[in-house]
Structures are given as structure tokens and as C-alpha cells.
Amino acid sequence: MARDRDKEERNERAKKAIGAMKAMGIPVHKAKPVLKSLLKESENSWDFIEADNYSVLVDALISLPESPDASAKTRDAGLAEQSGPTRKKLKLNEEDEDEASPSGTRVDELRGTSPVQQAPEDDVSPQLQLRRRRMEPAGESASPQPSFGQHGGGTAVLPRGNGQEMSAPSVGVQIGHKKEQAPTPSSLVTYGKDKGLMKENVDSPVYHCNRKGEQANQNPVSPIIPKDEPLDDYEPGFEVPIAVMPPDEPTSFRNKDLQHQNVHNDIPVGNGSTSQINASETLVSQHSERRKENGVPCNNSSCKDDSAQELAGLQDASVKKVEIASSKSGEVKVSLTCSSDNQNFVMPDLESLFKMVEDRCLKSYRILQPDFSLMNVMTELCQCVVELSSNPTGEKEESTINVIPLVDSLKKSSMSSTLGGIPSFTSNSSPLAVPHCIRPLASEDLTMNGSGKKKNNSGNPDTSNVSASELMVFKQQHPQCVNVRPLHDANDITKGEERVRISVVNEVSSERLPPSFHYIPQNLVYQNGYINFSLARIGDEDCCADCFGDCLAAAIPCACARETAGEFAYTSEGVIKKEFLDECISMNSDPEKHHHVYCKDCPLERSKNKTRPGPCKGHLVRKFIKECWSKCGCNKQCGNRVVQRGITCNLQVFYTSEGKGWGLRTLDDLPRGAFVCEYVGEILTNMELYERTMQTTGNARHTYPVLLDADWGSEGVLKDEEALCLDATFYGNVGRFVNHRCFDANLIEIPVEVETADHHYYHLAFFTTRKVEALEELTWDYGIDFGDHKHPVKAFQCRCLSRFCRDKKKPRTRRNSLVLK
């Protein structure tokens, strides 16, 4: 009897376990053998298997090798036809497409051939997804560009209607593309996630540990960020699969509202195509998850307390529907329907909206593309739509894509002439090569073409007529800024990253803020640069473990003064000693008189010509300052720790009146030898710099990469990953605003060793060469030889106004420490 009861209980538990797996989309035939073997291994420990919602079983299942027939099924579902990154994502859900899915409808839903099904409340798919992603090797899903294609795809396939009524208007973004294309029939794709479950998963130790572990591996001072590291697969904000429309999709699934819109939009029902995504995922869950990612503890109450402003918008808002509709002529309309409980809903202006979304994305997701913007995401979306819809076989075709903000009301308003930026690129071009500057479209840019349709100056049809939709479009407060990406805070361009605020002013022109870049207070490795800050590499000779307090006050200089010939470079007043500074200045103004080294195999020449590198032109042997650091016994206020304490003087970014663009000035009087700021940027290998430069077109770049070549000659052959430089174009600090002045610049750059004695990497710190008065512009001699007309990169026309300006006279010097674009 007892044995029968045991058996019954075992069967019951097995049924439950298999049922739970089924609910996650794992078929019985897969779950059963794994469960069996787990039972065997655990000696029938059901508690072990059932713990944490069958986490052991789930883990065992997801680590199973992928079966070939699963991919065949995916292909059947038409998913394999998608391009690379999207396809990779969809791979995550191959098992979900199995016939044993509880509803048996997931594949159908992706195909758009099945009506939406209500998934069981205890569905654990998000957890499964997180676990799967956790198992995915970093490189596998990697793609350098953040994109809908990349983030979208198959991460969310469980249908869930939330039954919420839409109470807020929609935001429309209209997309047009040049190429006339055959209409694809409409389809309906629905996805959703259980918000409760998302929260649960967010708080799950598995997820949290993973994030922590990742962070622990990164260097706290200068995290190494590979460019093609996957952009956090589990970021819910981007888990919006692009609609995949099989050609035989009947129009009956099209959303009723949209049909209505289509009629009004001249997008014919039946000829155009529509894709729709319903999402019941709440942003509260996403918010919690993002905060977790940022290392901010986020239990519900702390999240609530945190930013009332942020949460006010988040608590009730959810994405109700995403629709992509196309007309016969190929215009594509994307519409996002938000639902909110807020009765007093007022449509925000697009500028603020885009900024807020971008800020959140940048804060919360590990977006590495420096030029990330919502507009670029939209462009990416257009590109995918065009690629998928016009060419389902995946073959790339030339087609021009425009992203035009939908602000119909402006057509009627006097403000229309300033609206509408049109970044234009072909679907074959890499998003990296997309010109990111989106200029306002002036009224004179619009001309009538033969058909009476307005065309913009790039020859693309003006699709604004098509967009005159039922979607409520609200008058924008700052239409001219719709496409501008105002990343900067004029009150503090550092966004709190420095100890001092650094304001931005322009008393000269109407340009309110400098072009966008990410403010970073410390250098960051872009991708391949090799930097090793390990404590193990700091030998006794490179630190002063026995010191205490202020090393400068000690009777005998400690080991950290070794680099500067046994004498500290700093005075007790915190400025550079006269002799040391004089020598550094002399090196810059008269480099010929100073020692140069010549590499056997110069990385600079190697990057220019790999097979037949030219001879090394020589590198100046620079004087280094070495600061005390973490292995030292002294305190943070030690006089031999100046640069590492960061900016302390009051600075301001201002618009210069001499035509040099933005510049940096001091608001304080500064003594000679005072530390001002570092030149901070991305750490690139010389090869990466070269590749970047090759990709660069037009005026996209506005800062100078600076070689860290102070010690290049000390070794016979420097490896590519050790030949480093700094590029502050996309990531940088205020140092990127320091303009050039020939010879008598008031700043000088000095190499400073802080975390590592390895001179391949060091900090480049600016010190004053003389007393500088408040409001004086801070300048630096870039070392440009303006007379070198053979240089591959044309130098700017110098407006330094120095009486020693080399741009007017014969060049006296040439320094190699700078690479011109």
C-alpha cells in the first residue's frame, strides 16, 4: 500500500515537473529523460529538483545541445531567413517553437497565423530566457551595433493579453524608403511577458549573481569594454521582435484600428502590410532590472522611493501595441501605442522624450556604440523592415531609407520649415558608417517632383502626407530640436562625473551646446588595447608600502620618486617643480634637442602599411611623473597624488570668438605648474585608431587622437595591443575642448604613471606652463607641423593668434606625438 502511495506521489510530482517544463515550452520528450536522469543522479531527491521552481531541471535542459531538427523547425517557421543578429536571437527560442508548447501556438503566432492565446499565469518563460542567455558565450550573440534586429527576435514569444484599455494617444514615427516595392501582406505578431514573473526573475539570485560576476571581472578603474560584446541580451527594453511576416498572411488578423488608420493614411488595406506587437510587459519590471544591472539595489520599496519623477511615468505605462504598416508604394509606418492610467495625459515633446529614452538607455544598458541615439534605433528598425519586407530571402538590396519624425501639425504651422532631419543611407551600408549628424530640413530643401509629390533635397519623396494619420500628433514645443541629441547638461557638462561642475556657455553664436559625446572622467579601453592593472605587477620598487600620510613630508623621498630621479615632481603646494616643468616645456618647444628613440618596427608605420611599414620617424623620450597608488601606504591626500584626485579648479567650456569652435577656460587664477585636467578618451590600439580614421568621413570627427608613445622605443617590437592612443571623439572629458596654440600655449601635457609602471599606458595630464588668469582660454600645442603638406590629413587653419603661429611661418618643429585625422 505504502509503495503504491509513494509511486502515486512520484508520478504526481513527475507530472507537475513535466507540466512546468511544458509551460515553458519544453516538450515532454525532452523534459522526461532529463528529469529521469536528474532523479537518478540525485537519488530521487524531489526537493532538490523542485527547488527554485525546478531551476536544476531548467538548467539541465537548457544546457542540452541543440538538436538539428529544432533548427529545421525554425527554418520552417520562416525565422531562419532573417539576417545575422536577429537570427541569433531567434535561436534562443527554437525550443519554444516545439510542437509540445502548451498552447501549441507559438510558431503560429510568430507566423502570425494564429490568434493570440492566453498563457498560463505561472509561465516561467522569462526565467528560461534569462537562464539561456546566461549560458550563451559572450561572443556568440555579439554584434557591435545596438539594433532592433539584434535585440529583437525571439526573446519574447509568450502571448499574454493584459486586457488593459488604451488610455493614451499614440506616438507615430513615419518611415519612408525610396525604392518602390511590392506590398507584403499584413500579419499580426503578438508577444508579451508576465510582469510579475519579470520582477521575480529580476530579483532572482541567479540573475543577480551573474551580473555581479560580470562586474567583478571588469577593472574598476578602466573597464575593458570589447566593442562587440553583446549588448546585454536580457535587456527588456529592446526585446521587441520585429514583426516577421510570412507572405501568405491573411489580412484578417490586422488590427481593426490600423485598418482604419490605413484608410485615412492612404495606406490601402489589403495591399499594404501590417505587423503588430502587443506587449503587456510593464516598465516597472524593466526599471527594476535596469537598476539591478547598474548595481543599484532595487527592491520594490527602494525603487519606489528613488525617483518619484521617473517612477511616475513608469508605474502605469506599458507598451500596448507596436504596429508596423506599409503601403503599396513602400512607405512604412511604425506606431507605438502606450497605455497609461494617467488621466491627465499630455503628450510630451519629442525632444524631451527622445532625450529621456536615450539617457535611460545609456544609463541602463551597456550600449557601447558612442553614437547611439533613438533616431539611429529607428533607422535600424527601418533598415530591418526594408530588408525583411522587400527581400525576405535575406539578399541585400540597395534602398534608401529616411527616418522622418511624424509631426503632422507642423506641416500646417509656420514652424514646419525647421522640421525634419533626414539621415540617408543605403541598406547595404554599415550603421557605423551612417552620418550621424541629422541636419534640420529647411523649407527650401523641399521641391515638387513631377507627380506633384514633395521631394526633399536628397530626392526622396516627402512622406509626410502619408503620415497624416489618426494617430494623435501633438504640437511640438521645440520642433527644430526633434532630431538633435542634447546629451549635455549646460550647467555641468561632466554630469556629476567630476568633483567640480563645468558649465557650458556660448556668448558668440547660437550653438547652445557642443556636439554630443559621452563624458567620461577616466580613460576607457575601446576594445583591443592591452592594459594590466593587476596588483601583482606592482613591485616593491613601484610603490611605497611603508609610507604613511603624505610622502612629500617624509625626510627621504620614497620609492615612488624613483621615476623622477629620486625627487618628487610635485611641490608641497601641489604644483610641478620648476626644473621638472622647464625641462618638459623645453622638450615640447625644442624636440630636436631632446632624446628620441626609433622603433625597429614602428606601430605607427605598421598601421599605415602592414606589409611594407616605413621606417620609424622617432619618438621623443618623455619625462614621466609617477604618483603613489593603492599599494602605497600613504593617504589619498598625499602630495604625490595629484592627477588621480581629478579636476579641482573651476573650468568652463565656452565658445571661442576666433573661429576655433568650443574651447576650455579657467574661472580661477592658476599658478604655474598647476594640474588642470587630463586628456581623457577611449584607449585604442594604433591599429584601431587607423581603422577608425579610415571609416571617418566629413566632419564627423572633431577631436584629435593622441598617441601614448612616450615609451614606444624602449622595446624592439611593440605588439599592436600595446601601441595605444587616446581618442576623445566619442568618449572623453573636458580635455577634448582644449584648443591648439603654437609654441606659447599655457598648458603642457605630461605623462603620468598611476596604476601601472608599464609605460605603454599612462595618463596624459595638462599642467599650466605659466600663471594663467581667470577667464583665459586654456590651450595646448598639438605639435602640428602646418607646413607638412604631405601629411595624409589636412590640418585645420590655425587661429591661435600666437605671434609664433607656425601656420603662417616656416614650421620650426615637428612632433610625432600626435596623429592628425
Ligand X SMILES: C[S@@+](CC[C@H](N)C(=O)[O-])C[C@H]1O[C@@H](n2cnc3c(N)ncnc32)[C@H](O)[C@@H]1O
Stretch that binds ligand X, among 113-121, 150-158, 538-546, 791-799 (CB under 6 A): 791-799
When asked if residue 693 is in the footprint of ligand X (CB under 6 A), the reply is no
Separation CA 111–CA 272 (nearest Å): 17
Give the nearest distance from C-beta 661 to ligand X in angstroms: 3
Q: Is there a contact between 279 and 339 (Cβ–Cβ < 8 Å)?
A: no
Stretch that binds ligand X, among 2-10, 168-176, 201-209, 660-668 (CB under 6 A): 660-668
- DSSP-derived letter for residue 427 is T
Separation CA 644–CA 630 (nearest Å): 11
Q: From its phi and psi, is residue 163 left (phi > 0), alpha (psi between -120 and 50) or beta?
A: left
When asked if residue 278 is in the footprint of ligand X (CB under 6 A), the reply is no
Q: Which residues pair with 404 in a beta bridge?
A: 174
Nearer to ligand X, 179 or 702 (CB): 702
Separation CA 313–CA 300 (nearest Å): 16
When asked if residue 798 is in the footprint of ligand X (CB under 6 A), the reply is yes
First to last CA, the chain: 85
Stretch that binds ligand X, among 70-78, 140-148, 247-255, 696-704 (CB under 6 A): 696-704
Nearer to ligand X, 338 or 738 (CB): 738
When asked if residue 488 is in the footprint of ligand X (CB under 6 A), the reply is no
Identify the sign of the CA torsion 481, 484, 486, 490. Answer: negative
Stretch that binds ligand X, among 432-440, 455-463, 546-554, 794-802 (CB under 6 A): 794-802
Residue with the three cell numbers 576655433: 660
Stretch that binds ligand X, among 456-464, 504-512, 525-533, 658-666 (CB under 6 A): 658-666
Identify the sign of the CA torsion 775, 780, 786, 789. Answer: negative
Nearer to ligand X, 662 or 675 (CB): 662
Residue 728 amino acid letter: A
Identify the sign of the CA torsion 779, 783, 789, 794. Answer: negative
Stretch that binds ligand X, among 410-418, 451-459, 758-766, 792-800 (CB under 6 A): 792-800
Residue 581 burial (10 A CB sphere; 0-12, 13-18, 19+): buried
Rg (CA), the chain: 30
Separation CA 551–CA 628 (nearest Å): 8
Nearer to ligand X, 163 or 659 (CB): 659
Q: From its phi and psi, is residue 301 left (phi > 0), alpha (psi between -120 and 50) or beta?
A: alpha
Stretch that binds ligand X, among 168-176, 228-236, 716-724, 795-803 (CB under 6 A): 795-803
In this structure, which long-range contacts are made by residues 196-200, counting pairs with CB atoms below 8 Å and at least 24 apart in sequence? 197/123, 197/124, 197/125, 197/126, 197/127, 198/126, 198/236, 198/281, 198/282, 198/285, 198/286, 198/289, 199/284, 199/285, 199/288, 199/300, 200/127
When asked if residue 660 is in the footprint of ligand X (CB under 6 A), the reply is yes
Nearer to ligand X, 49 or 738 (CB): 738
Closest CA to 198 of 163, 237, 167, 232: 237
| Dihedrals phi, psi of 416, to nearest 5 degrees | -60, -30
Give the nearest distance from C-beta 658 to ligand X in angstroms: 7
Separation CA 677–CA 653 (nearest Å): 13
Give the nearest distance from C-beta 791 to ligand X in angstroms: 14
Nearer to ligand X, 333 or 660 (CB): 660
Strands of the 273-277 sheet, one edge to the other: 273-277, 318-326, 332-339, 170-177, 400-405, 425-426
Q: From its phi and psi, is residue 104 left (phi > 0), alpha (psi between -120 and 50) or beta?
A: left
Give the nearest distance from C-beta 615 to ligand X in angstroms: 28
Nearer to ligand X, 596 or 702 (CB): 702
Closest CA to 807 of 777, 787, 781: 787
Give the nearest distance from C-beta 90 to ligand X in angstroms: 42
Nearer to ligand X, 535 or 801 (CB): 801
Give the nearest distance from C-beta 754 to ligand X in angstroms: 23
Give the nearest distance from C-beta 584 to ligand X in angstroms: 20
Stretch that binds ligand X, among 9-17, 444-452, 636-644, 655-663 (CB under 6 A): 655-663
Choosing from 620, 745, 800, 819, the residue that interacts with ligand X (CB under 6 A) is: 800
Site for ligand X in 713-742 (CB under 6 A): 736-737, 739-740
Tell me the residue number closest to ligand X, measured at CB.
Answer: 661
DSSP H helices in 140-192: 148-151
When asked if residue 662 is in the footprint of ligand X (CB under 6 A), the reply is yes
Q: What cell was used for 183?
A: 506590398
Closest CA to 351 of 510, 445, 487, 464: 487
Separation CA 121–CA 71 (nearest Å): 28
Separation CA 233–CA 241 (nearest Å): 13
When asked if residue 569 is in the footprint of ligand X (CB under 6 A), the reply is no
When asked if residue 514 is in the footprint of ligand X (CB under 6 A), the reply is yes
Closest CA to 759 of 771, 767, 770, 751: 751
C-alpha triplet 264, 269, 272: angle, nearest 5°: 105
Choosing from 562, 799, 812, 814, the residue that interacts with ligand X (CB under 6 A) is: 799
Give the nearest distance from C-beta 800 to ligand X in angstroms: 4
Separation CA 28–CA 561 (nearest Å): 70
Choosing from 276, 390, 402, 703, the residue that interacts with ligand X (CB under 6 A) is: 703
Nearer to ligand X, 660 or 665 (CB): 660
Give the nearest distance from C-beta 739 to ligand X in angstroms: 4
Q: What number of other Cβ atoms are within 10 A of residue 103's Cβ? A: 17
Give the nearest distance from C-beta 731 to ligand X in angstroms: 14
Give the nearest distance from C-beta 743 to ligand X in angstroms: 12
When asked if residue 665 is in the footprint of ligand X (CB under 6 A), the reply is no
Site for ligand X in 234-263 (CB under 6 A): none
Nearer to ligand X, 54 or 704 (CB): 704
Pattern 615-654, binding to ligand X, x per CB under 6 A?
Answer: ----------------------------------------
Give the nearest distance from C-beta 502 to ligand X in angstroms: 14
Stretch that binds ligand X, among 10-18, 61-69, 124-132, 796-804 (CB under 6 A): 796-804
Choosing from 54, 354, 704, 767, the residue that interacts with ligand X (CB under 6 A) is: 704
Choosing from 796, 804, 812, 814, the residue that interacts with ligand X (CB under 6 A) is: 796
Nearer to ligand X, 402 or 656 (CB): 656
Nearer to ligand X, 574 or 661 (CB): 661
Q: Is there a contact between 812 and 780 (Cβ–Cβ < 8 Å)?
A: no
Give the nearest distance from C-beta 797 to ligand X in angstroms: 6
Give the nearest distance from C-beta 511 to ligand X in angstroms: 9
Nearer to ligand X, 199 or 736 (CB): 736
Give the nearest distance from C-beta 808 to ligand X in angstroms: 12
Q: How many residues bind ligand X (CB under 6 A)?
A: 16
Separation CA 200–CA 535 (nearest Å): 38
Nearer to ligand X, 48 or 796 (CB): 796
Pattern 749-788, binding to ligand X, x per CB under 6 A?
Answer: ----------------------------------------
Stretch that binds ligand X, among 244-252, 280-288, 306-314, 700-708 (CB under 6 A): 700-708
Which residues form the interface with ligand X (CB under 6 A)? Answer: 514, 660-663, 702-704, 736-737, 739-740, 796, 798-800
